[in-house]
Amino acid sequence: MSQLNLVLLGPPGSGKGTQGERLQSDLDLPYYATGDILRAAVRDETEIGKDAKAYMDKGDLVPDDVIIGVIAERIDSHEAEDGFILDGFPRTVGQAEALSDKLEELSSRLTAAIVISVPDEEVVRRLSGRRTCSNGHIFHAEFDPPEKEGVCDVCGEELRVRDDDKPEVIKNRLAQYREKTAPLVDWYDERGLLERIDGSEPPDDVYEDVRALMATLRMEEEA
């Protein structure tokens, strides 16, 4: 069977992580969420974490040269030989070019870049109610509450509000998305790789659309 190499694109709070968790468990592919990787690096005080922290606290993107190597190493690894799901990477045209070059070097290619769209006002509602654990499992106080308040249903870790989910930081993250990441929608469209998903429905309904898309992509890959 051919590789399934997927990118999840979309503004902050569009549901990339929520849909990515479901996809990972359905497809059994490695899932690389750059936000989670960077937050772990900050927590562990690695060199990358020290470089990234100030950018993340403000809602700015970390520089391309900090993040590109992190992802290149993972998609070059044995665990990604059947494919991968990338969440939050690429986020700039420079990162998209680096990913394309890396895949070419590996004689591989991207299957699809899936953009999940939601309006800005929905982003703010979602991020202000988001609760996450240190393992990256995601809940929402109103739309997707855990069974026991403050405790992750999956791993039992404490649930917290993310440091960058403060109103002024959310505003900057949206501005960064519009300026630096939204151009990737056209970039992938021009290369025939873009797939669009409406992220404004409830999570399970959005996932039905994602599953239908996966079935189509699989058929196309195997044709």
CB-nearest residue to ligand AP5: 35
61 binds ligand AP5 (CB under 6 A): yes
Binding residues with ligand AP5: total (CB under 6 A): 38
* Residue in 16, 53, 126, 131 annotated catalytic: 16
Which of 80, 152, 173, 195: binder of ligand AP5 (CB under 6 A)? 173
Catalytic site includes residue 218:
no
Cβ-based neighbour number of residue 220 at 10 Å: 11
210 binds ligand AP5 (CB under 6 A): no
Q: Quick one: 67 or 152, whose CB is closer to ligand AP5?
A: 67
What span, in angstroms and rounded, lies between the C-alpha atoms of 90 and 67? 9
Residue 65: name the closest of 44, 48, 41, 43 by CA: 48
35 binds ligand AP5 (CB under 6 A): yes
Letters for 103-122 (x = contact with ligand AP5 by CB under 6 A, - = none) are --------------------
Tell me the sheet residues that pair with 57.
Answer: none
* Residue in 22, 74, 162, 196 annotated catalytic: 162
Smallest distance from the beta carbon of 91 to ligand AP5, in angstroms?
4
3 binds ligand AP5 (CB under 6 A): no
The secondary element (H helix, E strand) that includes residue 64 is helix 64-75
What span, in angstroms and rounded, lies between the C-alpha atoms of 51 and 48? 5
Which of 7, 32, 41, 59: binder of ligand AP5 (CB under 6 A)? 59
Catalytic site includes residue 162:
yes
If you ran DSSP here, which 8-state letter would residue 118 be given? -
* Residue in 39, 53, 126, 130 annotated catalytic: 130
Cβ-based neighbour number of residue 168 at 10 Å: 8
- Measured CA to CA in angstroms, residue 131 lies from 33, 143, 153 at distances of 17, 11, 12
Which of 2, 73, 109, 143: binder of ligand AP5 (CB under 6 A)? 143
What span, in angstroms and rounded, lies between the C-alpha atoms of 101 and 36? 24
Contact by Cβ (8 Å): 173, 59? yes
Amino acid, single-letter form, for residue 46: T
Q: CB within 8 A of 78, min separation 6: which ones?
A: none
Residues belonging to the active site: 16, 91, 130, 162, 173
The site for ligand AP5 (CB under 6 A) is made up of 10, 12-18, 34-35, 38, 55-56, 59-62, 67, 88-89, 91, 95, 126-127, 129-130, 138-140, 143-144, 164, 173, 199, 201-203, 206
